[in-house]
Structure formats: C-alpha cells, structure tokens
Amino acid sequence: MPELFKLGQLLIDDSLTISKNINKKLDTRYSNFIKESDLEDDEVTNWRRQLIILVGEAVLEGSDEIIKDRLNEWAYKTGEGAVAYGIAIDELLKTNKVYREVFWEYIETHLESEVSVKKLLSMNRIIDSILAQTAYIFSVSFVKFHQKTLQQARDALLDISTPVVSITEDVAILPLVGDLDTYRAKLLMENSLKQCMKLNNRYLVIDLSGVPIVDTLVANELFQINKALNLIGVKTIFTGIRPDIAQTVVSLGIDFNDIAVSSNLKNALSTILKWTSNIHESTV
C-alpha cells in the first residue's frame, strides 16, 4: 500500500483525535469566542472533523478534485455560522494556520518510512490547496452573510422608523424622523402602501417636522409617495414643514401645488374634516 494512501486513511480514521488536537492548539481568544457563542464543544469538534476527513480523502486519492464540492459547502456553511454566532473573520481565518500545524505534526509522527520529496510536495500541494480554498470560501461566505445581516437590521430599523399609526377609523399619521434618502424613500413608499391597505384608512398625514432637509430629491420622492397613495384611494396631507425648510423649498423652485400641506396636525385634521364634509354633501 503506498505511503500516502496509508496517511490519507489514517487522517480519516483518526479525524476525531486530530480535531480535538486543533481545539487544544487554538489560542485563548478564539476559544472564548466559541464559548461566548453558546456552541457545544462536541458540535464544533465534529464540524472540524468533517474537514479533516475531506483532507484525508484527498490525500488518499492523490487529488483534491474529488472533494471540491463538499469542501466548498463546508466552508460556505462555516462562514455563515461565524456570522450567526458573532465570530470575527480574522479569528476564523486563524484556524487555517492551526489546521496546517496539526496536519503536519500528525503526518510527521505517522511516517513509517522515508518518503520521497516528490511525494511530500504532492501532499503539501493538496493540503495547501484545500486550506486556501476554505479561506477563500470562508471570506466570501462571511462577507455575504454579514452584509445580509446588516441589511436585515437596517430594514428592521427603517421599518420601525416609518410607522403608519391609525388615529381614527379613516385617518392615519406617518411621523418621519431623520434624513430621507432614495433607499429610505423607497422603503417608505412600500411600507405606507402596505400599512394603509392593512388599516383601510382614507387619509394619511405625513409629518415632516423631524426631517432636517427637503431638497429636490426628497421633494420628488414625496411627490411619488403622494401619487402612489392616491392610486389606492388614500389622500395625503403633509405637515411640519418648518420655516427654514419652506425657504429652501421656495429658493429651489420646488412646486408643492399638487400636494396638500398644513402647518400642524391640528390644522391637518381640520382640513381632512372639511374634505369628508364635502364628500358627504356631494353624495346627499
């Protein structure tokens, strides 16, 4: 039986022991990351064992091609799990160095005879290729799921910051706070349409007193929201445009003629009352 074949089989057979040795080699900081993540030691050990078995299979076959798909899946899930459990990418990548050290310590210990430099280089290429691929997939997976997590948090925050609140059966209010950029305006339109459909209100007061700047971009987004709500039968009225913002709007030449504007919520409700009275009179 060729020496490398025997080593590959030994890596598979002793994968659990090797995985435990990796745990011992990891520095205190990374070990603390694992403990704080509430992961069980056995769970982590068995997960690492899967990679060791893949390395053993590749050494046994003399090529890493046979395990590429399973290796990518393992590394991808590892990166995803690191994000889920709050393990930093730099700490995750440090494990590759430990894997390499433990692999070669094991191989050195279990070499029963002299192995040619050519065979050792061949095995080194296989192990290096596997660890380089895991590091790459770690990084890609980690970045992807980290961005996804951040986006979900951002969406949740924006969803909370754009609440449509019902104040009567027919009237709801949407108080806006903070800068209104294109992304938030799009989310605002989606949320306001969804919430107004859910609440079945006929009027929506959009309060801008918490919006620091109304420029041409913001004004255009407000026009679009107004049009979209009108299409589903919801009439909007804007309140809270401060004097400094009103001056800016005028200086920019922004036309608010097609949008109902009121100085405050009390006046907005009075305007809505007049609208409902006119509708009632027109139907009598």
Q: What is the pTM of this model?
A: 0.53
Averaged over 271-280, what is the pLDDT?
Answer: 75
What is the C-alpha separation between 3 and 215, in angstroms, rounded? Answer: 74
Return the higher-pLDDT residue of 112 and 53: 53
**pLDDT tens across 112-140, in order?**
666 777 888 888 899 999 999 988 888 88
- The CATH fold of domain 3-158: Globin-like (1.10.490)
What is the CATH number assigned to the segment(s) 165-283? 3.30.750.24
Contact 198, 222 (CB under 8 A): no
Residues of the chain with CATH 1.10.490.10: 3-158
**pLDDT tens across 158-195, in order?**
555 567 888 888 899 988 877 777 777 777 888 888 88
pLDDT recorded at residue 284? 42
pLDDT recorded at residue 278? 64
**pLDDT tens across 190-208, in order?**
888 888 888 899 999 988 8
Residues of the chain with CATH 3.30.750.24: 165-283
Q: Which residue has the tokens 């605002």?
A: 188
> To the nearest whole number, what is the mean pLDDT of the chain?
81
The edge-to-edge listing of strands for the beta sheet with 171-177 is 165-166, 171-177, 203-210, 235-239, 260-262
Give, in order, the Cα–Cα distances in Å from 6 to each of 101, 175, 268: 20, 70, 83
**How far is the first Cα of the chain from the last one, in angstroms, to the nearest whole number?**
100
Classify burial at 161, counting beta carbons within 10 Å of its beta carbon; exposed 0-12, middle 13-18, buried 19 or more: middle
